[in-house]
Amino acid sequence: MKNKKNKSCLTTIPVFIATFLIAFSANVLAENKPEPIKVGVMLPFSGVYAGLGESIRNGLKLALQEKGNKASGREIQLVEVDTEAKPARASELTLGLVNNDKSDFVIGPVHSGVAMGMINTIRNKDSIMIIPNAGANAATGAFCQPNVFRTSFSSWQTAYPMGKEAVDMGYKKIVTLSWNYGFGKESLAAFEESFVAAGGEVVKKILVPFPKTEFQSYLTQIASIKPDAVFVFFAGGGAVKFVKDYATMGLKGNIPLLGSGFLTEGTTTAQGKAAEGILTTLHYADTIDNPKNKKFRADYSAKFNKSADLFAVQGYDAGQLIIQAVEALKGNTEDKAALIEKMEQLEIDSPRGKFSFSKAHNPIQTIYLRKVVNGQNTVVKESVTNLEDPARGCKL
């Protein structure tokens, strides 16, 4: 009996020591494991802009995956929330990502109204906001902030070049039309600025409540006005419906349809023949001929089983921006001023072509005139090379 007790004691002690050592080394490893980088992702995953949100998220994931989901040895963790493209939700969602989730970066949104709410909330906070779509001029204009960057565009950049292009094509009297909210109105104003300066006249401006997609009554008005051409902003599900309705109501082929590129971006499969021949201006085209774009499009199709679009490019570049900045600072994200300074200096090797940031933190980038040919947004020419937004009112 005595012997048996001693024997069990002898086997218990090494097991105890081994357990202790395993627990001790696991603790040491855990202590040495660097903190993850937290990235809040605020995008529309439902509603009329859901397709845009999905493309941005896919592009972001592709950029992170290329680097093993790490920057400077730190894991990158995403926390996703659905904005539903509703400006009223912007502040509450941003506060959650900044205060509760302690996000180092917040990527979002798609809708300009949501962007303005986010900017108001994130001002003077430690998190850095990266806008992967929303074009509100004020985001990198009158409301510019040190901790707000864009990998996308300003409203002005995407529509201004088309005004001059339209006059060069011989169109003098034009009807403009868009959803009635910030980005749409700014797009029409930017188009009008260069169109009127080049000698054109906007004969009627039509604003449609957002996110309404019943266009028949507006198209009837256009048919009776008979302008030389029509310039519009619609995107996502609204762009699909508008382009199809335009053809169904017999306007295609009679009154040329022009737009900022969102009209045919990520939508041509659903639009089918109705999209063929439409001319738009944008800072990306499917056929941009550089090795980065070719690899990006091939990798994206292989991973997501569909074609890449501009929204995916902007998400991809938001991912590249974070990785490059964190790696340049060897993983130190504590010093936000140093992080912002580094981001300001970076050149991003984007599928759209290389770009750097203006003083207001908006990309300086080439705008292309594009034409839909066999479902692809093909480059017609560079409309304006390295176009910088005027950043009206920005004091950075």
- Closer residue to ligand BEZ (CB): 135 or 259: 135
Residue 213, sorted as left (phi over 0), alpha (psi -120 to 50) or beta, turns out to be alpha
Residue 111 is a binding residue for ligand BEZ (CB under 6 A): yes
Amino acid at 43: L
Residue 185 is a binding residue for ligand BEZ (CB under 6 A): no
Residue 119 is a binding residue for ligand BEZ (CB under 6 A): no
Least distance to ligand BEZ from the beta carbon of 279, Å? 18
Size of the site for ligand BEZ (CB under 6 A): 12
Cα–Cα distances in Å, from 356 out to 55, 218, 224, 274?
23, 40, 45, 36
Residue 235 is a binding residue for ligand BEZ (CB under 6 A): yes
Q: How is 24-70 classified by DSSP, letter by letter? A: HHHHHHHHHSPPPEEEEEEE--SSTTHHHHHHHHHHHHHHHHHTTTE
Report d(CA 259, CA 251) in Å as an integer.
15
- By CB under 6 A, the residues from 196 to 225 that bind ligand BEZ are none
- Closer residue to ligand BEZ (CB): 83 or 194: 83
Give the number of C-alpha atoms closer than 13 A to the C-alpha of residue 67, restricted to the C-beta side. Answer: 21
Report d(CA 355, CA 366) in Å as an integer.
9
Helix 236-248 vs helix 216-225: crossing angle, to nearest 10:
50
Residue 242 is a binding residue for ligand BEZ (CB under 6 A): no
Least distance to ligand BEZ from the beta carbon of 136, Å? 6
Among 262, 284, 296, 300, binds ligand BEZ (CB under 6 A): 262
- Closer residue to ligand BEZ (CB): 323 or 369: 369
Residue 112 is a binding residue for ligand BEZ (CB under 6 A): yes
> Tokens 């980088």 belong to which residue?
37
- Closer residue to ligand BEZ (CB): 105 or 262: 262
Helix 291-304 vs helix 50-66: crossing angle, to nearest 10:
110
Least distance to ligand BEZ from the beta carbon of 105, Å? 20
Report d(CA 236, CA 239) in Å as an integer.
5
Among 22-30, 109-117, 300-308, 383-391, which window interacts with ligand BEZ (CB under 6 A)?
109-117
- Closer residue to ligand BEZ (CB): 169 or 270: 270
Contacts of 190 (CB under 8 A, 6+ apart): 155, 156, 157, 158, 159, 160, 163
299-321 CB burial, b ≥16 within 10 A, e <16: ebeeebeebbbbbbbbbbbbbbb
- By CB under 6 A, the residues from 126 to 165 that bind ligand BEZ are 133-136
Which residues, in sequence order, are bridge partners of residue 376? 373
Residue 183 is a binding residue for ligand BEZ (CB under 6 A): yes
- Closer residue to ligand BEZ (CB): 146 or 211: 211
> Tokens 């959803």 belong to which residue?
179
- Closer residue to ligand BEZ (CB): 175 or 235: 235
**Interface pattern 48-67 for ligand BEZ (x via CB under 6 A):** -x--x---------------
Among 110, 229, 278, 288, binds ligand BEZ (CB under 6 A): 110
Binding site for ligand BEZ (CB under 6 A): 49, 52, 110-112, 133-136, 183, 235, 262
